[in-house]
Structure 1
């Protein structure tokens, strides 16, 4: 789907899959290569990452955040990759203030770097690393509604040229994947869940999307919630009445759904 220029920017949800997404040729990698060019260039990025979890919202304010290689068992070349984007301490303070005003006990962290849920998709979207980046934590012990409200507090940033991104996975059950066959057909239980959730997002059925545990095979697709909840941050950041626009869909290894969405009220 094309992304016509909009004001404000939409919010985005992207599925980042394996860390090998940073270097491998794949349908999702090629989609991300084009995605940054299809949007007006933002002045900053706020990324809610599945790999940055905390019991309260943490906003990074590191001036020169390190590239965190928070994974194991991959080719050595992957560990040499750096994504040298700058941070944005002033914007981090603004984000934390907005979250506190919405009732969240947000804190600023001036030392934390960028985990692979942040830098892997951004390396494909914005390879020049020329846009300041802030990471935002998620809390798997909370609910989809909590993360939706977190995103709603960030929605005004879109009027300021800030792109809010949720980085996770549309389904994420690593134990069930067919690791030997990247192009294995989607499992029926993955299709049942992802079709249902996708339909609700595209219809603007926010209540139905938030009630994710009522969808078919919900816990089989997300035995843990850290990869799902960035979706709801992005949905909330799309603003009141946000409706999803499907930008990309693919399934790797039978069970890793890699849908991507834009959210806004257009």
Structure 2
């Protein structure tokens, strides 16, 4: 069995499903470039266990619903479904794996897949025929906690599970809604400067710098006024193993302000 990489996916806006863009084109071809996984474990920025200190939640439904957790978008987006099966046995294995490393894990048999999961997966695996399990972030917890979470999950890569963190390399919605740029608007330097700094530090294997990119990188706080969309990157980094081996698979921006970088981590 092929050892799968860990991925970081920038999912940007839910309109990624509908609007043409370089990122959409890239994700639509990504599945063909990867060994076929037996299951996907996706860590989404939109599944946040912040209210439960130190807790991780994993979906355990055999048939997770498609959650349309957004407002003000076209009807076509709300009609979209991603009927991938779940994998309760994998959820149990994840709970055991994380529990052995001291994480407090809850299996949730009712929760479905939010748009941070199903939007990119519907492009990568449009047939919805690969089981999907989703894991929460905890926005109250430190970057190092999320990196350790990824490290605890890393053994799953050897048993056919594709681990993917789904967030966004930059994510300032206040600026986005204030400016309302076109989907193909050019990126300002404060956006590209942050994304390129992260790329350089990842290429150098500088784990600590990347974990603290919001404080250390140019315009870190401008691009991440909250941490939720960068935390999945740290999980993916941890799942990739040590030493850090990062490949920037894709770089583009949508609406100028959303950097849509995709990374793989770990030798394959």
Q: Structures share a fold, TM > 0.5? A: yes
* Pairwise CA distance, 1:24: 2.0
Contact 1:241 1:265 (C-alpha < 8 Å) held by counterparts: no
Name the SS for the 2:110 alignment partner: coil
State how far apart, in whole Å, the 2-side matches of 1:103 and 1:174 are.
34
Match for residue 10 of structure 1?
5
1:193 correspondence with 2:194: yes
Match for residue 147 of structure 1?
146
Contact 1:49 1:118 (C-alpha < 8 Å) held by counterparts: yes
1:27-48 deviation digits (Å, cap 9, x = unpaired): 1111011000000000000000
* Pairwise CA distance, 1:66: 0.4
Equivalent residue for 1:39, pick from 29, 34, 40: 34
1:133-161 deviation digits (Å, cap 9, x = unpaired): 00000011111111000000010000001
State how far apart, in whole Å, the 2-side matches of 1:103 and 1:214 are.
29
State how far apart, in whole Å, the 1-side matches of 2:2 and 2:242 are.
15
RMSD (CA atoms): 1.2
State how far apart, in whole Å, the 2-side matches of 1:123 and 1:48 are.
15
Match for residue 165 of structure 1?
164
* Pairwise CA distance, 1:265: 3.6
- 16-25 or 228-237, larger mean C-alpha shift: 16-25
Contact 2:68 2:114 (C-alpha < 8 Å) held by counterparts: yes
1:204 correspondence with 2:205: yes
State how far apart, in whole Å, the 2-side matches of 1:265 and 1:126 are.
22
Match for residue 244 of structure 1?
246
1:220-251 deviation digits (Å, cap 9, x = unpaired): 11001110000011111101212110110111
Match for residue 74 of structure 1?
73
State how far apart, in whole Å, the 2-side matches of 1:168 and 1:265 are.
22
1:44-99 deviation digits (Å, cap 9, x = unpaired): 00000000000321010001100000001111011011100010001001101111
Match for residue 183 of structure 1?
184
Contact 2:7 2:236 (C-alpha < 8 Å) held by counterparts: yes
State how far apart, in whole Å, the 1-side matches of 2:252 and 2:44 are.
20
Name the SS for the 1:234 alignment partner: helix
State how far apart, in whole Å, the 2-side matches of 1:86 and 1:156 are.
22
1:19 correspondence with 2:14: yes
State how far apart, in whole Å, the 2-side matches of 1:165 and 1:184 are.
28
* Pairwise CA distance, 1:103: 1.2
Match for residue 48 of structure 1?
43
- 105-114 or 192-201, larger mean C-alpha shift: 192-201
Contact 2:95 2:107 (C-alpha < 8 Å) held by counterparts: yes
TM-score w.r.t. length of structure 1:
0.95
State how far apart, in whole Å, the 2-side matches of 1:165 and 1:234 are.
6
TM-score w.r.t. length of structure 2:
0.95
* Pairwise CA distance, 1:208: 1.7
Contact 1:242 1:265 (C-alpha < 8 Å) held by counterparts: no
1:174 correspondence with 2:161: no
Name the SS for the 1:247 alignment partner: strand
Name the SS for the 1:57 alignment partner: strand
5+ long unaligned stretches in structure 1: 1-5
Equivalent residue for 1:214, pick from 210, 213, 216: 216
Contact 2:37 2:130 (C-alpha < 8 Å) held by counterparts: yes
